[in-house]
């Protein structure tokens, strides 16, 4: 039942946005999704299974956003800035994405299960970049852009805009070229 599974994950995500995971009740998630509790249990086995599926979904959504940013018809530096901007926006808007990217899980979130750690996620971004950008330094520059964006996630300040990120990324190139 793909439609029920999707509806349940959406309902669980909305419930998590409203309250910490320990306060999310299976009966409420099922009702919000318009299915029976039995359907929820059939799909996920229990709350832990639902939580793991929610973490997987957020991982996939984050990486899909990275792919979208990398596939836009724009110069490479702008695509790198778009990946960095997406990373900051996604981490600020979604606590699960923030936890995935930083490794900072708290009791208000579902247990990560076998979710990728921050290093694995950064490598996944680098691999996506290797397929989308020019051979050579493109993938490394993308990983650098994500790690730079993470500094805005762990030490919040004003959200960086494209111009600021482009400046930071191109400054690295000027410095590297001067050596």
For residue 52, name the pLDDT band (cuts at 50, 70, 90): very high
Question: Whole-model pTM?
Answer: 0.81
Q: Residue 177: is its pLDDT beyond 60? A: no
Cβ-based neighbour number of residue 96 at 10 Å: 27
User: What pLDDT digit, counting tens, does each position of 117-140 carry?
Assistant: 888 988 888 888 888 877 777 778
Cβ-based neighbour number of residue 60 at 10 Å: 10
User: CA–CA separation, 26 vs 94, rounded Å?
Assistant: 21
For residue 29, name the pLDDT band (cuts at 50, 70, 90): very high
Instruction: Point out the least confidently predicted range of 37-51, 89-103, 144-158.
Output: 144-158
User: CA–CA separation, 34 vs 109, rounded Å?
Assistant: 23
Mean pLDDT of 145-169: 69
Rg (CA), the chain: 18
- Please, how many CA atoms are within 13 Å of residue 64, restricted to the half-sphere of its CB? 6
User: CA–CA separation, 103 vs 101, rounded Å?
Assistant: 6
Mean pLDDT of 49-70: 94
Cβ-based neighbour number of residue 43 at 10 Å: 20
CB 98 within 8 A of CB 115: no
């Amino acid at each position: 039942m793909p439609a029920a599974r999707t509806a349940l994950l959406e309902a669980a995500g909305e419930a998590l946005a409203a309250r910490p995971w320990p306060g999310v009740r299976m009966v409420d998630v099922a009702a919000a999704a318009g299915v029976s509790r039995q359907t929820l249990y059939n799909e996920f086995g229990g709350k832990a299974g639902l939580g793991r599926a929610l973490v997987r979904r957020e991982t996939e959504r984050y990486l899909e956003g990275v792919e979208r940013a990398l596939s836009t018809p724009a110069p490479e530096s702008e695509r790198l800035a778009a990946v960095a901007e997406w990373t900051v926006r996604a981490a600020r808007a979604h606590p699960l994405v923030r936890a995935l990217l930083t490794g900072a899980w708290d009791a208000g979130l579902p247990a990560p299960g076998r979710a990728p750690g921050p290093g694995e996620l950064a490598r996944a971004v680098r691999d996506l970049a290797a397929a989308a950008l020019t051979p050579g330094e493109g993938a490394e520059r993308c990983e650098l852009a994500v790690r730079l964006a993470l500094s805005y996630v762990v030490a919040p300040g004003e959200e960086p805009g494209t111009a600021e990120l482009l400046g930071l990324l191109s400054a690295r190139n000027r410095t590297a070229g001067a050596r």
